[in-house]
Amino acid sequence: MCAVLALRSDAVKLVVQVKLLPTPEQASALEATLRACNQAATYASSVAFAKNLKDRNGLQKEVYADLKATFGLSAQPAVRLVKKVVDAYKAQKAGVPFLEVDAAYTSQRCPRCGNTDRANRPDRDRFCCRRCGLAGPADVVAGVNVRDRARSAWVFVTAPAPSP
C-alpha cells in the first residue's frame, strides 16, 4: 500500500511517496477485512436483486445495519460497498458488459511465456519469470493475466452460434 504526501512551501512543492509495510498481524487483518467485504458485497448484491433496489439510498437503508453486524464492517467500507453494488447495476443497465474470470494463479503465471510457478513470485510485490525473465510489479502482471483471460473468454461469449 502506498501513500502520497504533498508538502507545499512558497516556491517548491515536495511530493514524497511512502510505502506502507504492514506487519504480519496487520496483513492478516487486512486480508480478513477484504474477505469480509467480498462476502458482504455478495450479500448486498443478492438483496438488491431480490428487492429490486438500484439506488444507493434505498439499498443502504436495507443492508447497512446487516453489513456492520453480520460482516463486522465499519461505516466506511459498508458505505463504499453499497456504492460499488449500485454502480455495478447501473453499468449493467447501461449495457456495459461484465465477465467474471477465475483469478487463480494469475499472480504466478507469466503472460509472455505461460510458465506458472510459485517461484515466479520471489516476494509479495515482485514478479520474475524463471523461464523467460519477464519482470515487473506482481499486481500489474496479475492484472495483465486477468485481462487476457477475460479477452479469451469474451471471444467465446460473443461468438455467433454455430449453424446446425
Strands 2-8 and 13-19: antiparallel
Rounded Cα distance between 13 and 73, Å, is 37
Q: Give residue 121's pLDDT.
A: 94
Q: Give residue 1's pLDDT.
A: 44
Residues 84/38, Cβ–Cβ less than 8 Å = no
Cell numbers that stand for 98 in this block: 461484465
pTM of the model: 0.56
Q: Give residue 150's pLDDT.
A: 87
Residues 110/120, Cβ–Cβ less than 8 Å = yes
Asked whether the predicted pLDDT for residue 164 surpasses 90, the reply is no
Tell me the per-residue pLDDT of 54-104, one tens digit each, with 9 for 90 and over. Answer: 899 999 999 999 999 999 999 999 999 999 999 988 888 888 877 778 888
Read off the pLDDT band of 4 (50, 70, 90): very low
Asked whether the predicted pLDDT for residue 18 surpasses 80, the reply is no
